[in-house]
C-alpha cells in the first residue's frame, strides 16, 4: 500500500532547493502573519516541501544563494508548483539568544542580517530552528497553484494527495545525525 500526504510546509524556493541538494538541514522560522494565534508552531512533523517565491529577499541570504534568487512582484505565484521533496522534521529548537547564530552560520543559507531582523520582529517570541531530514520524491511533480495555497502562512494542505513511495534521502543517516548533533551542541 502506498502512503500519501497533502501536508506541506511553505518555504522560500531557494531554501527548499538547498534542502533538496543537501546544502542544509536547517530552516529558521518565526511564523507567517496568518499563523494560528499569530505564533509559529509546528502543525505537521512530516511534510512535502512547497517552494514560494514572493517573499524571497536576496539581501538576507549568503552571497552564493542571493545570486540565485529572481525577485518577483508582490502577489505573484507560478501557475504550477514543483513538488520534489518530502521531509521529516526531527528537531524543533527554540532560540532566544541572537549570539548563537554566528556559530550556526556554516549550517544554513541566511546571513547575519536575516537573524537580526527575525529576532527584532516580535522580540519576545523565540526564533525556531527546524532540522529536516529531506527525501527526494521518485519523480518531481508539477501541481496546479490554487488560491488557498497563497498567503503568509507556513502550513497548507494540498488539494490532491501526493504519493510517498521510493523516497531517496538527500543526506545519508550517518551524516544527517552528525550535522544534527553539532547543531544541537551549539544550542546547548
CA 141 to CA 152: how far, in whole Å? Answer: 23
Q: What is the pTM of this model?
A: 0.92
Work out the number of other CB atoms within 10 angstroms of the CB of residue 56: 21
Contact call for residues 108 and 28 (beta carbons, < 8 A)? yes
Sign of the torsion formed by the C-alpha atoms of 134, 31, 150 and 42? positive
* Grid coordinates belonging to 123: 522580540
Closest CA to 83 of 176, 9, 1: 9
Residue-level pLDDT, tens digit, the chain, 188 residues: 459 999 999 999 999 999 999 999 999 988 654 556 666 778 889 999 999 998 889 999 999 999 999 888 888 889 999 999 999 999 999 888 888 888 999 999 999 888 888 888 877 888 889 999 999 999 999 999 999 998 878 899 999 999 999 999 999 999 999 999 999 999 98
CA 93 to CA 130: how far, in whole Å? Answer: 6
Contact call for residues 66 and 58 (beta carbons, < 8 A)? yes
The domains of the chain, with CATH numbers, are: 3-187 (2.30.130.30)
Residue 92: the pLDDT is: 93
Amino acid at each position: 500500500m502506498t502512503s500519501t500526504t497533502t501536508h506541506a510546509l511553505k518555504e522560500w524556493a531557494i531554501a527548499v532547493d538547498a534542502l533538496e541538494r543537501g546544502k542544509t538541514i536547517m530552516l529558521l522560522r518565526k511564523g507567517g502573519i496568518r499563523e494560528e494565534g499569530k505564533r509559529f508552531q509546528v502543525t505537521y512533523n512530516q511534510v512535502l516541501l512547497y517552494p514560494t517565491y514572493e517573499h524571497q529577499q536576496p539581501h538576507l541570504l549568503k552571497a552564493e544563494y542571493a545570486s540565485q534568487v529572481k525577485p518577483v512582484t508582490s502577489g505573484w505565484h507560478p501557475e504550477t508548483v514543483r513538488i520534489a521533496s518530502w521531509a521529516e522534521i526531527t528537531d524543533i529548537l527554540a532560540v532566544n539568544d541572537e549570539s548563537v547564530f554566528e556559530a550556526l552560520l556554516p549550517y544554513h543559507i541566511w546571513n547575519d542580517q536575516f537573524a537580526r531582523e527575525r529576532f527584532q520582529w516580535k522580540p519576545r517570541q523565540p526564533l525556531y530552528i527546524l532540522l529536516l531530514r529531506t527525501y527526494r520524491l521518485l519523480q518531481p511533480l508539477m501541481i496546479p497553484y490554487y488560491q488557498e495555497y497563497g498567503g503568509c502562512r507556513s502550513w497548507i494542505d494540498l488539494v490532491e494527495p501526493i504519493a510517498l513511495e521510493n523516497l531517496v534521502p538527500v543526506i545519508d543517516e550517518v551524516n544527517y545525525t552528525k550535522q544534527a548533533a553539532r547543531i544541537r551542541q551549539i544550542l546547548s
